[in-house]
Amino acid sequence: YINNLIMSNIITFPFGTVSMHDNYMVAVMNEGVTVNPEINSVLEELAVNHFQDKKFVYITHRV
């Protein structure tokens, strides 16, 4: 578990920050952001590229 915290990749976008871990990803959306199809496509592409065929958990934290 601790290695997941250390080995995360943090990516900053205009809509918020996404941290990628071995088995999960966390998206922290900026205040007032509405997830639209364009943002959803970015998040989906990150997940597909990072996890490929692995099962994972997606967490969104809205501020």
Model pLDDT for residues 21-50, shown as the tens digit of each residue? 999 999 999 999 999 999 999 999 999 999
Q: What 3-state class would DSSP assign to 8?
A: coil
**2 pLDDT above the threshold of 70:** no
Q: Model confidence at 63, in pLDDT bands (50, 70, 90)? A: confident
21 and 8 Cβ atoms separated by less than 8 Å:
yes
19 and 50 Cβ atoms separated by less than 8 Å:
no
- Encoded amino acid at 40, one letter: N
Q: Model confidence at 7, in pLDDT bands (50, 70, 90)? A: low
* Beta strands at 57-62 and 24-29: parallel, antiparallel or unpaired: parallel
If you average pLDDT over every residue of the chain, what do you get? 89
Task: Identify the domain containing residue 28 by its residue range.
Answer: 2-62
Domain count, the chain: 1
